[in-house]
């Protein structure tokens, strides 16, 4: 997709590792499936376009596995864990929280004080308490079970964590000031970086070429300036300052002869899940290469095959054609096909009065997407009969309960039809994003330079109405989420 090829922000790769299914029970069977969470990695490569943070205070170019695990625990047990920024070490650390209570057990003050730092052993024990179980969601925010009872994140039945995204402020213009005004942020330049004009959405031509630095080739580490005529074989750069906020000291620094800057021309970016392989160019600081070029894999979910022998007949559809799998049929099950991911821009969610849902992603195993046994099981077949002109055999086979793998397998195995009354109506099926390389790929959020970080919530669950949430799911699911964005002004 051309949109994602024009990546002008760094690409962030979020790796969800080893989501292990411990049992061999089917989606809505009483035993439920269980999944132990082994670990998460979030890495933002490059840092030229945006920074990330787990607490909204300490922004950096990458988050460690420990920080993402900590972010999970803060949501899972908010009364037990909290972030605290260590100014001396310039890092945020996860602490145990101790409730402040009086002799009668009533909260005092803010309710908590910080205890000891959470150790790796503490974290491992706590993460082992998170056991994924089949749930469903129509909006990617509220998670419910088969009986429509809401599951909280504190139950550990699904995964939730939050990350703040904000721009690095390197994409706008900083101008010198002669006076200090109230309600304005001020900065000083602590360093500079050279950024390719192509990544800034700038078109270089004969009229403006003298405003930019250039290199005659990618291997040339010398930045030159003063070119009078545009040469299409050269690579052009804009020299941008790396700044530090000194608003509180702005007047004193200005009086002392320092060059004080004001951010005068902001930029905006739309952030997307990346569906294509992306290459991040090598980075230079003052003409010195600080990072080699790297290639980031696209967003993907993969899982090992779990051989399963059916204990009852199952009706499914292959490319819209009904297919019946008999008892004792051997099939391969891929757990990644049962996973759902939702992403919520909390800023937009709050602004809508908490009525807007999240983006829900139904991304099949990137290597075995053709091996899935269906999507949401619904009562679509109740809406029409075959004599109705609006009847759709394709929808019937894909979504109708009479041909739904999840429904038919359960009823054939249990000889019980009670699930029929609990199926989702066809018009209640949440809209899911299945392809990240087409026009259906929606923006996650919009970042504007100079503004506070955007809080983004990630939720991952097993979709109970998905026929791939099957008896026999096992092994682990590997998931990598990559982000890219485009400049919109």
Last residue within a domain, chosen from 243, 265, 287: 265
CB contact burial 216-232 (16+ within 10 A = b; e otherwise): eeeeeeebeeebeebee
Does 351 fall in a domain?
yes
Assess whether 59 and 91 both reside in one domain.
yes
Q: Looking at residue 348, what is its pLDDT?
A: 78
User: CA–CA separation, 433 vs 462, rounded Å?
Assistant: 16
Assess whether 14 and 69 both reside in one domain.
yes
Assess whether 16 and 138 both reside in one domain.
yes
User: CA–CA separation, 235 vs 458, rounded Å?
Assistant: 38
Domain of residue 185: give its range.
173-265
Q: Looking at residue 382, what is its pLDDT?
A: 58
Does 232 fall in a domain?
yes
Q: Looking at residue 122, what is its pLDDT?
A: 93
Token digits of residue 357? 């849902």
Does 26 fall in a domain?
yes
User: CA–CA separation, 99 vs 81, rounded Å?
Assistant: 11
Please compute, for residue 341, the number of CA atoms within 13 A of its CA located in the half-sphere on the CB side. 24
Assess whether 11 and 160 both reside in one domain.
yes
Angle at 145 between CA 144 and CA 146, to 5 degrees: 130
Q: What is the DSSP string of 11-79?
A: PEEEEEEEEEE-----TTSTT---EEEEEEEEEE-S-SSEEEESSSS--BS-B-HHHHHHHHHHHH-TT
Block residue for tokens 């061999």: 24
Last residue within a domain, chosen from 214, 243, 265: 265
Assess whether 98 and 180 both reside in one domain.
no
Does 252 fall in a domain?
yes
Running DSSP on this structure, what letter comes out for residue 233? T
Q: Looking at residue 17, what is its pLDDT?
A: 43
Does 325 fall in a domain?
no
Q: How big is the chain by its Cα radius of gyration, in Å?
A: 26
Does 382 fall in a domain?
no
pTM over 0.85: no
**Cβ neighbourhood burial of 270 (10 Å; 0-12, 13-18, 19+):** middle
**In which element (H, E) is residue 236 found?**
strand 235-245
User: CA–CA separation, 124 vs 120, rounded Å?
Assistant: 6
Q: Looking at residue 351, what is its pLDDT?
A: 64
Does 158 fall in a domain?
yes
Q: Which whole-number Å values give the CA distances from 478 to 17, 37, 112, 124, in the listed order?
A: 5, 11, 36, 19
Asked whether the beta carbons of 59 and 206 are under 8 A apart, the reply is: no
Asked whether the beta carbons of 162 and 71 are under 8 A apart, the reply is: yes
Last residue within a domain, chosen from 265, 287, 319: 265
Angle at 459 between CA 301 and CA 279, to 5 degrees: 45
Does 407 fall in a domain?
no
User: CA–CA separation, 285 vs 262, rounded Å?
Assistant: 22
Domain total in the chain: 2
pLDDT, one tens digit for every residue, the chain (489 residues): 222 222 333 344 554 444 443 333 345 654 444 544 444 444 444 334 677 889 988 888 777 778 888 999 999 999 999 999 887 787 899 999 998 877 776 777 667 889 999 999 999 899 888 877 889 999 999 999 888 899 999 999 899 999 998 876 545 567 889 999 887 778 888 878 787 887 666 789 999 999 999 999 888 888 999 999 999 999 999 887 777 778 888 999 999 999 998 877 666 778 888 887 777 666 565 555 656 666 777 787 777 787 878 888 887 766 666 788 888 988 888 878 888 999 999 987 776 677 778 999 998 876 776 667 777 877 776 555 677 777 777 666 666 666 677 777 777 777 777 777 788 877 788 889 988 887 788 889 888 776 678 899 999 898 888 878 776 566 666 777 777 777 676
User: CA–CA separation, 316 vs 409, rounded Å?
Assistant: 9
């Amino acid at each position: 997709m051309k949109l994602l090829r024009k990546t002008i922000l760094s690409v962030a790769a979020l790796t969800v590792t080893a989501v292990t299914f411990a049992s061999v029970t089917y989606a809505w069977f009483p035993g439920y499936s269980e999944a132990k969470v082994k670990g998460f990695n979030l890495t933002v490569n490059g840092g030229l376009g945006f920074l990330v943070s787990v607490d909204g205070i300490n922004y950096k170019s990458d988050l460690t596995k420990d920080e993402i695990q900590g972010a999970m625990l803060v949501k899972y047990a908010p009364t037990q864990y909290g972030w605290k920024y260590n100014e001396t070490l310039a890092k945020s650390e996860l602490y145990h929280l101790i409730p402040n209570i009086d002799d009668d057990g009533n909260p005092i003050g803010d309710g908590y004080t910080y205890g000891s730092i959470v150790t790796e052993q503490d974290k491992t024990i706590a993460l082992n308490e998170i056991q994924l179980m089949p749930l469903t969601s129509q909006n990617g925010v509220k998670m419910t079970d088969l009986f429509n009872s809401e599951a909280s994140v504190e139950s550990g039945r699904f995964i939730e964590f939050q990350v703040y995204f904000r721009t690095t402020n390197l994409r706008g213009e900083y101008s010198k000031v002669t006076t200090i005004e109230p309600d304005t942020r001020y900065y000083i330049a602590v360093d500079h970086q050279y950024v390719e004009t192509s990544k800034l959405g700038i078109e270089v031509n004969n009229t403006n070429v003298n405003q930019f630095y250039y290199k005659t080739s990618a291997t040339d580490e010398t930045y030159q300036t003063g070119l009078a005529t545009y040469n299409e074989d050269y690579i052009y750069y804009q020299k941008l300052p790396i700044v530090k906020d000194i608003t509180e000291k702005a007047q004193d620094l200005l009086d002392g002869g320092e060059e004080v800057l004001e951010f005068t021309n902001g930029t905006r970016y739309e952030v997307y899940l990346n569906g294509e392989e992306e290459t991040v160019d090598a980075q230079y600081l003052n003409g010195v290469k600080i990072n080699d070029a790297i290639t980031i894999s696209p967003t993907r979910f993969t899982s090992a095959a779990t051989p399963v022998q059916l204990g009852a007949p199952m009706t499914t559809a292959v490319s819209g054609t009904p297919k019946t799998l008999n008892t004792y049929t051997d099939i391969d099950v891929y757990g990644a096909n049962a996973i759902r991911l939702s992403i919520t821009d909390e800023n937009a969610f709050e602004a809508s009065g908490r009525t807007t849902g999240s983006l829900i992603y139904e991304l099949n195993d990137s290597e075995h997407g053709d091996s899935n046994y269906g999507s949401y099981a619904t009562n679509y077949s109740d809406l029409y009969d075959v004599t109705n002109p609006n009847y759709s055999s394709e929808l019937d086979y894909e979504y109708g309960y009479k041909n739904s793998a999840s429904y038919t397998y359960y009823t054939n195995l249990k000889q019980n039809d009670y699930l029929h009354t609990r199926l989702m109506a066809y018009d209640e099926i949440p809209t899911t994003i299945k392809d990240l390389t087409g026009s259906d790929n929606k923006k996650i959020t919009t970042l504007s330079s100079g503004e506070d970080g955007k809080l983004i919530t990630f939720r991952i669950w097993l979709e109970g109405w998905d026929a791939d949430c099957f008896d026999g799911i096992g092994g682990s699911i590997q998931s990598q989420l990559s982000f890219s964005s485009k400049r919109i002004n």
